[in-house]
Every structure is written in structure tokens, then in C-alpha cells.
Chain A
Amino acid sequence: DAKTTQPPSMDCAEGRAANLPCNHSTISGNEYVYWYRQIHSQGPQYIIHGLKNNETNEMASLIITEDRKSSTLILPHATLRDTAVYYCIVRVAIDNAGNMLTFGGGTRLMVKP
């Protein structure tokens, strides 16, 4: 799976949008971009994923550049409970149901009052 690069840490003011970037310049055509977060010692929580189109759900928006070499996760109105480590992961989605996620690095987002 393609490697991703994320800033190690970011701060965001409560109530403001948090924009978390991710570089995946070696992504291939059949790899999806997934975002997870992990609040201290809890299980990783799925946020959103996409292939090439922008996606939005109740938690966040995912913006993928046209060349698919980078993406941005947007939390529109960050709250203190959004403080967590955010992982951007690219993964091939194939039918034999292997498809494990490889976690690496991530961005530690600190939301401040």
C-alpha cells in the first residue's frame, strides 16, 4: 500500500474548522484513502473514506486533489472531544477480504478552548 505523510501535530481553536492534510504521492489507481482517529487508548474510529471524489458525512468532509496525490480531512466545527490522533491510510480494496489497514505516524490534533 502507498505510504502517507502527515504533520505530526496540529492545534485548532474550538469551534473553528480543523483541516488535516495528508500526502500520498505514490497512490495507485485502485487505492482508497481512509481516515481514522484514535482518542486516547480507545479503539481507532472510522471517519470517512474516498477514491477520487470528495466525500462528506456527519463527521467530516474529505477533499481529494484531482491527481489524488494528497487529501485533506475537514472537521467543520472542532470541539474539545475531537482531540485525537488522526490517521490517513491508503489501502487497496480487493475482494479477498484481506485488506488490513497499516497505521503509521498520524497527526495529533489538539483542540483548544
Chain B
Amino acid sequence: AAGVIQSPRHLIKEKRETATLKCYPIPRHDTVYWYQQGPGQDPQFLISFYEKMQSDKGSIPDRFSAQQFSDYHSELNMSSLELGDSALYFCASKPGAAGANSPLHFGNGTRLTVT
């Protein structure tokens, strides 16, 4: 079965640079979530989109922005990168209104290293 695809798998950036992470949800899933997981920590919710509109916002820094496109893929844009942004970034998707209690399905993440 098709899964959530994230790219790139690994990314190395320097401080103050920008990064863009991409997420391709499972086909027919219209809801996308972004999570950040620092070393030794639990995944923390950043932001979510439903039908290309932002639906919830968590602990996402102002330096980060995200959007969902007409084909339902999503991009997380990160600017003025800091060392503390080094983490695993996960994307998850689920059907929206048609599957209110449907579980989220996660991709295998992008590992961002800021040097």
C-alpha cells in the first residue's frame, strides 16, 4: 500500500540558511500534519492542514511556515536555521472529514542537521 513520502531523507544546512521539506500524503488523504522530534524527545506537533487550509497550529516557530498545495502535498519552509532546529521532521496524513476517527499515518521523516 502507498505510504506517506517525505523528501529529502537527510538534509544538512548551516546556521542562518533556509530549508524546505516536502511531504506527499497517501492518495486520497486531504489532511497533513507536521511533527518535530528532537534527540531523545517525543514527537511535537507543529502544524496541520485540511483541504489546503491551516487547521491547527502547535509549537511552530515564527521562522517556519508551511502550506498545502492543490495536489495535497505539503511543504515546510524553515528560515534562519538554528542549531536547535536539528531534529527529525515527520509528516503524517489522514482522510479528512470522511474519516474523523481515522488514524494518522506517518512518513519516515527527514533528518535535518544544522551545523
Interface residues of A (CB under 8 A from B): 32, 34, 38, 41-46, 49, 51, 87, 93-106
Residues of the B chain whose Cβ atoms lie less than 8 Å from the Cβ of A105: 42
Q: Name A's interface SS.
A: loop
Residue of A nearest to B105 (CB): A46
Can you list 9 A-B contacts with CB-CB less than 8 angstroms, sorted by A residue number?
A: A38-B43, A93-B100, A94-B100, A97-B94, A97-B97, A98-B50, A99-B100, A100-B48, A100-B58
Residues of the A chain whose Cβ atoms lie less than 8 Å from the Cβ of B109: 41-43
Shortest distance from the beta carbon of A96 to any chain B beta carbon, whole Å = 7
Residue of B nearest to A93 (CB): B101
Shortest distance from the beta carbon of B98 to any chain A beta carbon, whole Å = 9
A-B contact count (CB 8 A): 70
The winner among A97, A103, A104 for most chain B CB atoms within 10 A is A97
Residue of B nearest to A46 (CB): B103
B114 interface residue per 8 A CB criterion = no
Residues of the A chain whose Cβ atoms lie less than 8 Å from the Cβ of B51: 97
Which residues between 94 and 108 of chain B lie within 8 Å of chain A, taking CB atoms? 94, 96-97, 100-101, 103-108
Q: Do the beta carbons of B107 and A97 come within 8 Å of each other?
A: no
Residues of the B chain whose Cβ atoms lie less than 8 Å from the Cβ of A41: 88, 109, 111
Residues of the B chain whose Cβ atoms lie less than 8 Å from the Cβ of A42: 108-109
Q: Do the beta carbons of A45 and B97 come within 8 Å of each other?
A: no
